[in-house]
Chains A and B, each alone.
Chain A
């Protein structure tokens, strides 16, 4: 613990080991910075931009930026909150997020961020894109309507030889995250369950397991996202 450094988030003095990513360093100091594509223990890539903060006048993703001594970070200003809220809204309108009919509702991180930023309605027009649902696997359903391309499944759901069960297909606006049909055949129940848990939205679902938790007992029914971090 010799390389402890000091930095500030919204004027609050914080301490952490130098070189830690800001999201983690903030969490250690009881400050929640929202994330979607980021996952503990997985190399960050700053894709979703929801963790954006302002440092030295520049917007940076706090999941990929290491904290340095004397750093001053702006995270909960009205401008940053507005930026994050608009990212959440854009994610809602660019997919087909029918919360009332979604098995992940109540435990969905995107929805929880909608609550966190009190999104009453997205300010952007709904796109209603045409997307498919792949239910060919015996274990899981991959619903493309809800996928936000966070890549968490690709990075974390692997077999013992390190091969991913999921992969990107196509490019540009036709990009989708798909389950490899050959790998799907050897997917066991535990892996399927982990894939569903690691998906921040309801794009990966274990078959025959929807709506198993009653309303009121789900992850974000009573506690806002980030409550486990906030002091």
Chain B
């Protein structure tokens, strides 16, 4: 049997969840034995080259590109996991929910106390830039998500246990210390 294939991505996240994947320490060697990585920042494969078994999503959806990537993950992966608070509920980027996008951009590029170099008062509006969504959406409000691993970041042991459980079919242990929302 060929190895299960894993893909990962970071949408509106901080890459902290990916750091937590690396935080499984020497078990990463075991992970490489167990699985093969496809599209992921870990191996820098930019596009899907084969069907994927497990897709791991970090971060929620704050712009049109996030939505497109998330939909391509749903299309190419059998199982999708929301990894971390941002993917699950929008996380810190979702603090902007409830504030109009224009107000946020104005604060960031024109009116904010640390803005000094933008004398012409330009807001980013290039066609190449992904459009910001009206608010930040949890991933499961855009596509179907199969599993959720909370934490900011999710503990390395939780990620490891979840992956091993998925690959081997064994039930997850979920000890109290590893399921945390912060």
Contact = CB atoms under 8 A, between A and B. Distances in A.
23 contacts: A98-B85, A98-B92, A98-B94, A98-B95, A99-B181, A100-B85, A101-B92, A105-B181, A111-B181, A114-B181, A120-B88, A121-B88, A121-B89, A121-B138, A121-B148, A126-B90, A126-B138, A126-B141, A128-B90, A130-B98, A221-B180, A222-B177, A223-B176
B95 A101 contact: yes
Contact of A99 (B90, B177, B182): B182
B148 A221 contact: no
Interface in A60-97: 96
Contacts of A106: 182
Given A101-B95, A120-B150, A121-B150, 17 more contacts: A99-B152, A99-B182, A100-B85, A102-B182, A120-B148, A120-B149, A120-B179, A121-B82, A121-B88, A121-B89, A121-B138, A126-B94, A130-B98, A215-B182, A222-B176, A222-B177, A223-B176
A156 to B, nearest CB: 26
B176 A100 contact: no
A115 B180 contact: yes
Interface in B83-142: 85, 88-92, 94-95, 97-98, 135, 138, 140-141
Q: How large is the interface on A (under 10, 10 to 19, 20 to 34, 35 or more residues)?
A: 20 to 34
A88 to B, nearest CB: 12
Interface of A: 96, 98-102, 105-106, 111, 114-115, 118-122, 125-126, 128-130, 215, 221-224
B165 interface: no
Nearest to A130: B98
A223 B135 CA distance: 36
A111 B152 CA distance: 14
Most chain-A Cβ atoms within 10 A of its Cβ — which of B147, B149, B150? B150
Nearest to B138: A126
B94 A100 contact: no
B42 interface: no
Contacts of A222: 176-177
Contacts of B31: none
Q: How large is the interface on B (under 10, 10 to 19, 20 to 34, 35 or more residues)?
A: 20 to 34
Contacts of A128: 90, 94, 97-98, 135
B82 A98 contact: no
Contacts of B143: none
Given A120-B148, A129-B98, A100 B92 contact: yes
A121 B140 contact: yes
B19 interface: no
Interface in B63-93: 82, 85, 88-92
A141 B4 CA distance: 50
Interface of B: 82, 85, 88-92, 94-95, 97-98, 135, 138, 140-141, 147-150, 152, 174, 176-177, 179-182
A118 B147 CA distance: 13
A222 B147 CA distance: 24
A90 to B, nearest CB: 14
Most chain-A Cβ atoms within 10 A of its Cβ — which of B88, B89, B152, B179? B89
A118 B177 CA distance: 12
Given A106-B182, A125-B141, A129-B98, A98 B91 contact: yes
B176 A126 contact: no
B157 to A, nearest CB: 14
Contacts of B90: 126, 128
Contacts of B94: 98, 126, 128
Contact of A100 (B91, B97, B179): B91
